[in-house]
Structure 1
Amino acid sequence: MATMTVSLPDPMKEWIEAQIKKGEYASASDYVRDLVRRDRARRGQELTIEELRQLVADARASGIGTRSVDDLFAEAERMVGARGRLRE
C-alpha cells in the first residue's frame, strides 16, 4: 500500500479526529479511504454533458406528454426512493 502525506487546515484535522473518537473510523487513513470510495461511486453515477444532451434531444423528439404533473412527481419520488434503498 502506498503512503501519501496530506496537509489540512486545523478545523479539518479536528473534524477527522472527532469522527475517529466517535468510533466512525479506525484512523485518519480509514476516513480518507472512505471519502475516496464515496467520491468514486458518486462520480460513477454522474452523466456526461453528451449524455445529458442526448436525454434532452430524446425528450424533445418524443413530443408532448400526456401525464399530469402529479403523476410525474409521484414517479420522480418513487425513483428517488428506489435510489436511496440501493445505497443502503
Structure 2
Amino acid sequence: MARQSISFTQPNDEWLKSQVDQKEYTTKSELVNDLIRQARKQQRQIDWISAKLEKAEKSGFTNLNKEQILAESKSLI
C-alpha cells in the first residue's frame, strides 16, 4: 500500500478524529480510504448517467441537453 502524508484543515481533522473516537473506523487512514472508495463509486455512477443522457440526447429522446438535465436534477436536491 502506498504511504502518503497529507494535511487537513482543523475542522476536517476534528471530524476525522471524532469518527475514529466513535469507533466508526479504527484509523483515519481507513476512513480516508473509505471516503475515496465512495467518491470513486459516485464518479462511476455519474459517468454512467452522463453516458445515458448523451445517448438519449443523440437519439432525440429528449429535447434537453445533458447539462440542462444535470442542472435540473441538482436543483431538485
Of residues 10-19 and 47-56 in structure 1, the stretch that sits farther from structure 2 once superposed is: 47-56
TM-score w.r.t. the length of structure 2 is 0.67
Q: Flag the structure with more relative contact order, 1 or 2, with Cα contacts below 8 A and sequence separation at least 6.
A: 2
Percent identity, aligned pairs only? 28
Deviations 1:24-73 (Å, cap 9, x if unpaired)? 0000000001001111111111136554232123314xxxxxxxxxxxxx
Once residues 51 and 25 of structure 2 are traced to their aligned partners in structure 1, the CA distance between those partners, rounded to angstroms, is 38
* Distance in 2 (alpha carbons) for counterparts of 1:57 and 1:6: 43
RMSD of Structure 2 on Structure 1 (CA): 2.1
* Aligned twin of 1:18: 18
When the two structures are aligned, how many residues end up with a matched partner?
A: 61
Separation in 2 of the partners of 1:22 and 1:45? 30
**Runs of 5+ consecutive residues of structure 2 not aligned to the other structure:** 63-77
Report the AA paired with residue 10 of structure 2: D
Give the TM-score normalised by the residue count of structure 1: 0.59
Greater radius of gyration (CA): 1
